[in-house]
Amino acid sequence: MDYVSLTVENHVGTVVLNKPPVNSFNLQMYREIENTFHSINDMDNVWVVILKAEGKSFSTGNDVNDFMTITTAEHAENYARHVSDSIVSIYECPVPVIGALHGKVLGAGLAMASCCDILVATEDAMFGLPEIIVGIVGAGCFLSRLLPQQLARYMAYSGEMMTAEQMKKFGALLKIVPVDGLWEAAKDAASRLVKNPPLALRGFKAAMNRNENARLKEKYAIEIGYGKGLIGTADFKEAVGAFLEKRKPLFKGR
């Protein structure tokens, strides 16, 4: 794999995202994330997973340049399916997943973080859902796993970011640490879980997922449906063009 790696030590699997400089997702990276987490399903020796990233940020979300290659409804549907499958693969991982977050955690990156069971973050971490800025819909249903509904809606509608301190205030983060303490904080959380019986960990994870929201995948499918409908519109093209050209967009509602 080019962008994702998995190592296992003392029953802790570590999944590392590595697409410099900011881990912006393209189609290949989505596939690699999905394949990696699916492979964990068959690993009885993995009791806990840590999801972390190299580079400046955990992830800034979708690679906007990738959007420019989406020209047909069929292409949009294929792309959306891989985005959905990769994110949901984290949520459906049979063992607890600890997300170690730093820098910017945006868009699909925030969706992936929200699918983790436990989150630790650095003091400089910033969280946001900038999809609205590039004229698409997506990842909002995952954000509501971390924040109250009204605040999740505001972030989705405005595209504004929140600090780690703000996220922790609402219970989204277990711990905030200095930049150089992130890995130790993630390992400490993993060590507290891995000392417990692995079958019970898997049982708790399965039960809590099922009780929490049996319709999460269906909700995301609805959201993706609205997002696909925006691909190819004049406002979508204007939003992406303005973002890439670093200028103010001029929307026309069509």
The per-residue pLDDT of the chain, averaged, comes to: 89
- Amino acid 212: pLDDT: 75
Helices (H), the chain: 27-40, 64-67, 73-91, 108-114, 140-143, 149-158, 164-169, 182-194, 198-212, 216-230, 234-245
From CA 104, how far away is CA 200, in angstroms rounded?
A: 34
pLDDT tens track for 198-224: 999 999 999 988 877 656 666 666 666
Model pLDDT, residue 155: 93
pLDDT band, very low/low/confident/very high, at 79 (cuts 50, 70, 90):
confident
Please compute the mean of the pLDDT values over residues 45-65 and round it to a whole number: 95
Beta-bridge partners for 51 = 15, 99
- More confident: 187 or 251: 187
Which token pair is 113?
């973080």
CB 17 within 8 A of CB 58: yes
Quote the pTM value. Answer: 0.86
Could you give the CA distance from residue 100 to residue 58 in angstroms, rounded to a whole number? 8
* Span 104-117, average pLDDT: 96
Per the DSSP assignment, residues forming a β-bridge with 62 are 25
Number of CB atoms found within 10 A of residue 98's CB: 25
pLDDT for res 252: 67
Residue 97 to residue 145: CA distance in whole angstroms: 15
Walk me through the domains of the chain, giving residue ranges and CATH numbers.
Answer: 4-180 (3.90.226.10)
What's the pLDDT at 213? 63
Once rounded to an integer, what is the mean pLDDT over residues 12-29? 97
- The confidence score (pLDDT) of residue 250 equals 78
Tell me what pLDDT residue 227 has: 64
pLDDT of 228 above 70? no
pLDDT at 75: 77
Cα four-point dihedral sign 114, 83, 253, 247: positive
Question: What pLDDT is attached to residue 103?
Answer: 98
- Write down the pLDDT at residue 245: 79
Please write the tens of the pLDDT for every residue from 21-53: 999 999 999 999 999 999 999 999 999 999 999
